C-alpha cells in the first residue's frame, strides 16, 4: 500500500465543548506539548462575547483569529497531529458541524462543575451521525464539581453514549490530590501549575502498595481502592474496537489550566485514536491507502482584506497524495485545476507545501471556484457524502436598498452562502430571496459583509417561519400537489432542492400527518 507510513503517522481531530468548558485552554496545552507554541497565552480564544453581539470589530477580530487557528498541526512523538478548530459560539454551530465531517475523532471537554450543557448535546448528536469516536475530558477538577460517579451517569444518560473511565480522580476542588490511571495503573499526583514532569508519576504494583497511603493518606487510599474495585467490576477491560466504532467513549479527568492530566490524555490519544479513515462517496467507499488522490472542501474562508476577493478553501485529503502544481479534477465544474501555492498549517512552517497525505488539511487560494462539499479527484466522478446542511431556525427576507447594486448583491449572496455563512432560499413563484440562519449573529455578519465587501446595502425583514424541511417523495404527483397547494411556504435551496418553510411546530406536524407520502427532512446532505 502506498503512503502507508504517512497515513499511520497522522491523527486528525477536533476539540469540542460548550463555551467556557476549557477548549481553548486544552488546545493551548496540547500545542505546548507539541512544541507548536512556546508560551501560554499564545492561543487566543475565538469566542464572541455575548455583550459584543453588535460589535462588528469583534466579528472581524473573530474572523482573523479563526483563519489563523483553523487548523493547528504539530508533531508529538513521531505522530503528526492535525487539530481542527471549531467556533464556540452557538450561532456558528453549522461551521462546527461541517468541520466535524473532516475529522476522524473528537475530544469532548466537559466542565465538572456544570456537567452536560446545551451545546455539548448538540455536538455529540452530530458525532453520532457519523459514529465519530469520542474521548471525554472532564475538566476543572481543581474546582468543587459534581461527584464523578454522578457525572458519568449524567453524561451517559444525557448524551446517550456509553462511557469507559480510563482515569479516576482522588477528590476534587481544594482536596484534589490527583488521578489514578486505570489503563496503565499509575498514579499522577496533583500540584497546581505543574509542568507534569516524570516525578509526579507514582507507579504502583497494585493499589495495596504501601506507598499509596503515604502519599495520599489512609482515608483517600481506602476510598480509591473501593472506587477502583467498583469501576473495574462495572466496566471491565477497555475495548479499543468499541471506541473506534463510536460505541464507547473513554473518559479522562484533569485540569487543563493546571496542565494536569493533559499529557496523559495526549499520550493515550495518539495511541488509541483512529488513523485517517475511509469515507463514503456517492459511488463507493474511498480508502485512504488508494493510489489516487481525492479530497473535499469542508470550509471556505473569505480573505480579510476586502480588496482581495480570493478566499481560502480548506481541503481535507482523504486518499492518495495531494501535490502542488499537479492538475486535479474538480468534479462539480468538470474541469482540471491546479494549485501553485497550497498552504500548510504546520505551526513551524506555515508556508507553501509540496505534498499532503490522507488526514491532512490544505489551504487552497480560491477565486470563487469552490463551494462547501466540492470534491477533487484524479479524474473519477464522485462526491464525498455526509456533509450536512441543517435546518435553519431564523429566516429573513433580503430587501435590496440600492437597485443600482443588484448585481453586486447577487454575487455577494452567492459567495457568502457558498462559504456556508448562511443558507439561501428562493421562494417559489415569487423570487423573494430568503436567508436562513441558525443564530442572529450570522445575519449581522451577512449584512456587514455585503456592505463592506460587495457595496450592497440590504434590509433584512423577519419572516414568521420556524423551520425549513427538505421534501422528498416516492410519489412525484403527491409532491407536485403539495407544492401547488402550499406554494407560499415552498422555496428552493441553492441547489434546486424543494424546501417547505413551516410557520410553527403545529403546522409542521399537521402537514406531516396529512401527507404521509411526503418525507420531511431536517438536514440536507450536500451530496
Ligand atoms: P472555551 O470557551 O471552552 O474555549 O474555554 P476556555 O479555555 O477559554 O476556558 C474558560 C475559562 O475556564 C477560562 O477562564 C479558563 O481559564 C478556565 N479554565 C480552563 N481550564 C480550567 C481548569 O482546569 N480549572 C479552572 N479552575 N479553570 C479552568
Distance of alpha carbon 385 from alpha carbon 140, whole angstroms: 37
Q: Whose CA is nearest to atom 17 of ligand 1?
A: 22
Q: Whose CA is nearest to atom 11 of ligand 1?
A: 20
Q: Do you know the residue count of the chain?
A: 527
Measured CA to CA in angstroms, residue 426 lies from 389, 398, 491, 511 at distances of 16, 10, 5, 21
What residues form the annotated binding site?
17-24, 85-89, 139-142
Question: Which ligand 1 atom is at minimum distance from the Cα of 21?
Answer: 3
pLDDT at 194: 56
Longest Cα pair distance anywhere in the chain, in angstroms?
A: 83
Question: Which ligand 1 atom is at minimum distance from the Cα of 27?
Answer: 7
Q: Whose CA is nearest to atom 6 of ligand 1?
A: 22
Cα four-point dihedral sign 440, 446, 448, 449: positive
pLDDT at 253: 96
Q: Whose CA is nearest to atom 24 of ligand 1?
A: 140
Q: Whose CA is nearest to atom 16 of ligand 1?
A: 257
**The three grid cell numbers given for residue 475, joined into one nine-digit string:** 410519489
Measured CA to CA in angstroms, residue 459 lies from 388, 444, 491 at distances of 28, 11, 20
Beta strands in 174-236 (DSSP E): 178-181, 186-189, 201-203
Q: Which of 178, 193, 256, 265 to mutate to test the pocket of ligand 1 (most atoms within 8 A of CB)?
A: 256
Measured CA to CA in angstroms, residue 463 lies from 45, 92, 392, 398, 469 at distances of 34, 20, 12, 10, 16
Question: Which ligand 1 atom is at minimum distance from the Cα of 260?
Answer: 23
Question: ipTM of this model?
Answer: 0.99
Burial call 19-45: b when 16+ CB within 10 Å, e when fewer? bbbbbbbbbbbbbbbbebbeeeeebeb
Residue 66 Cα, ligand 1 centroid: separation in angstroms? 19
Question: Which ligand 1 atom is at minimum distance from the Cα of 26?
Answer: 7
DSSP string, 337-376: E--SS-B--BSTT-SB-SEE-TT-EEEEEESS---TT-EE
Give which of 247, 26, 196, 23 is closest to 119, Cα–Cα. Answer: 23
Residue 22 Cα, ligand 1 centroid: separation in angstroms? 4
pLDDT 10s per residue in the chain (527 long)?
Answer: 779 999 999 999 999 999 899 998 999 899 888 876 666 666 666 555 544 444 555 666 666 555 556 788 888 999 999 999 887 667 777 888 889 999 999 999 999 999 999 989 989 988 998 899 999 999 999 999 999 999 999 999 999 999 999 999 999 999 999 999 988 888 888 876 655 454 567 777 788 888 888 888 999 999 999 999 999 999 989 999 999 999 999 999 999 998 889 988 999 999 999 999 999 999 999 999 999 999 999 998 876 666 666 788 999 999 999 999 999 999 999 999 999 989 887 655 557 889 999 999 999 988 888 988 999 999 999 999 988 777 888 999 999 999 899 999 999 998 888 888 889 999 987 778 999 988 888 898 889 889 988 999 999 999 999 999 999 999 999 999 999 999 889 999 988 899 999 999 999 999 999 999 999 998 877 55
Distance of alpha carbon 104 from alpha carbon 116, whole angstroms: 23
pLDDT at 39: 64
Q: Which of 14, 17, 20, 178 to mutate to test the pocket of ligand 1 (most atoms within 8 A of CB)?
A: 20
Q: Whose CA is nearest to atom 19 of ligand 1?
A: 22
pLDDT at 462: 95
Q: Which of 17, 18, 24, 25 to mutate to test the pocket of ligand 1 (most atoms within 8 A of CB)?
A: 25
What residues form the annotated binding site for GTP?
17-24, 85-89, 139-142
CA atoms within 13 A on the CB side of 244: 13
Q: Whose CA is nearest to atom 27 of ligand 1?
A: 140
Name residues contacting ligand 1 (CB within 6 A).
Answer: 17, 19-25, 45, 47, 88, 139-140, 142-143, 255-258
Q: How far is CA 488 from the centre of its chain?
A: 35
**The three grid cell numbers given for residue 59, joined into one nine-digit string:** 466579528
Residue 20 Cα, ligand 1 centroid: separation in angstroms? 6
**The three grid cell numbers given for residue 512, joined into one nine-digit string:** 406531516
Q: Whose CA is nearest to atom 25 of ligand 1?
A: 140
Distance of alpha carbon 110 from alpha carbon 258, whole angstroms: 16
Amino acid at each position: 500500500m502506498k503512503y502507508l507510513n504517512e497515513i499511520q503517522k497522522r491523527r486528525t481531530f477536533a476539540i469540542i465543548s460548550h463555551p467556557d468548558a476549557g477548549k481553548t485552554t486544552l488546545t493551548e496545552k496540547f500545542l505546548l506539548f507539541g512544541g507548536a507554541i512556546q508560551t501560554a497565552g499564545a492561543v487566543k480564544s475565538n469566542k464572541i462575547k455575548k455583550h459584543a453581539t453588535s460589535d462588528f470589530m469583534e466579528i472581524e477580530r473573530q474572523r482573523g483569529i479563526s483563519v489563523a487557528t483553523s487548523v493547528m498541526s504539530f508533531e508529538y512523538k513521531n505522530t503528526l497531529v492535525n487539530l481542527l478548530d471549531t467556533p464556540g459560539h452557538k450561532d456558528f454551530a453549522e461551521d462546527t458541524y461541517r468541520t466535524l465531517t473532516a475529522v476522524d475523532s473528537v475530544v469532548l471537554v466537559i466542565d465538572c462543575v456544570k456537567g452536560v450543557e446545551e451545546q455539548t448535546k448538540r455536538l455529540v448528536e452530530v458525532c453520532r451521525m457519523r459514529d465519530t469516536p469520542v474521548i471525554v475530558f472532564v475538566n476543572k477538577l481543581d474546582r468543587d464539581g459534581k461527584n464523578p460517579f454522578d457525572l458519568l451517569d449524567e453524561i451517559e444518560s444525557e448524551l446517550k453514549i456509553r462511557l469507559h473511565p480510563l482515569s479516576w480522580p482522588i477528590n476534587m476542588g481544594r482536596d484534589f490530590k490527583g488521578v489514578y490511571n486505570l489503563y496503565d495503573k499509575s498514579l499522577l499526583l496533583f500540584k497546581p501549575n505543574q509542568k507534569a514532569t516524570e516525578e509526579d508519576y507514582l507507579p504502583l504494583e497494585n493499589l495495596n502498595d504501601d506507598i499509596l497511603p503515604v502519599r495520599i493518606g489512609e482515608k483517600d487510599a481506602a476510598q480509591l481502592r473501593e472506587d477502583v474495585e467498583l469501576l473495574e467490576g462495572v466496566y471491565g477491560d477497555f475495548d479499543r474496537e468499541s471506541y473506534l466504532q463510536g460505541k464507547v467513549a473513554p473518559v479522562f479527568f484533569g485540569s487543563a489550566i493546571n496542565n494536569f492530566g493533559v499529557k496523559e490524555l495526549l499520550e493515550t490519544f495518539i495511541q488509541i485514536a483512529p488513523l485517517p479513515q475511509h469515507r463514503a462517496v456517492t459511488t463507493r467507499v474511498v480508502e485512504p491507502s488508494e493510489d489516487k488522490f481525492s479530497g473535499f472542501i469542508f470550509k471556505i474562508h473569505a480573505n480579510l482584506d476586502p480588496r482581495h476577493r480570493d478566499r481560502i478553501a480548506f481541503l481535507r485529503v482523504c486518499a492518495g497524495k495531494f501535490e502542488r502544481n499537479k492538475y486535479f479534477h474538480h468534479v462539480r465544474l468538470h474541469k482540471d485545476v491546479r494549485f501553485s501555492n497550497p498552504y500548510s498549517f504546520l505551526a513551524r512552517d506555515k508556508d507553501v507545501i509540496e505534498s499532503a497525505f490522507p488526514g491532512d488539511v490544505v489551504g487552497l487560494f480560491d477565486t470563487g471556484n469552490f463551494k462547501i462539499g466540492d470534491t477533487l479527484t484524479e479524474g473519477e466522478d464522485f462526491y464525498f457524502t455526509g456533509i450536512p446542511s441543517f435546518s435553519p431556525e431564523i429566516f429573513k427576507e433580503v430587501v435590496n436598498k440600492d437597485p443600482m447594486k443588484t448585481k453586486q448583491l447577487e454575487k455577494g449572496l452567492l459567495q457568502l452562502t457558498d462559504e456556508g455563512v448562511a443558507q439561501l432560499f428562493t421562494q417559489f413563484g415569487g423570487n423573494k430571496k430568503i436567508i436562513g440562519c441558525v443564530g442572529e449573529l450570522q445575519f449581522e455578519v451577512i449584512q456587514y459583509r455585503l456592505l463592506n465587501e460587495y457595496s450592497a446595502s440590504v434590509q433584512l425583514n423577519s419572516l414568521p417561519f420556524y423551520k425549513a424541511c427538505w421534501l422528498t417523495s416516492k410519489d412525484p404527483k403527491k409532491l407536485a400537489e403539495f407544492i401547488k397547494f402550499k406554494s407560499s411556504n415552498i422555496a428552493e435551496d441553492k441547489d434546486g432542492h424543494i424546501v417547505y418553510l413551516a410557520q410553527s411546530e403545529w403546522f409542521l406536524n399537521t402537514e406531516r400527518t396529512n401527507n404521509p407520502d411526503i418525507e420531511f427532512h431536517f438536514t440536507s446532505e450536500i451530496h
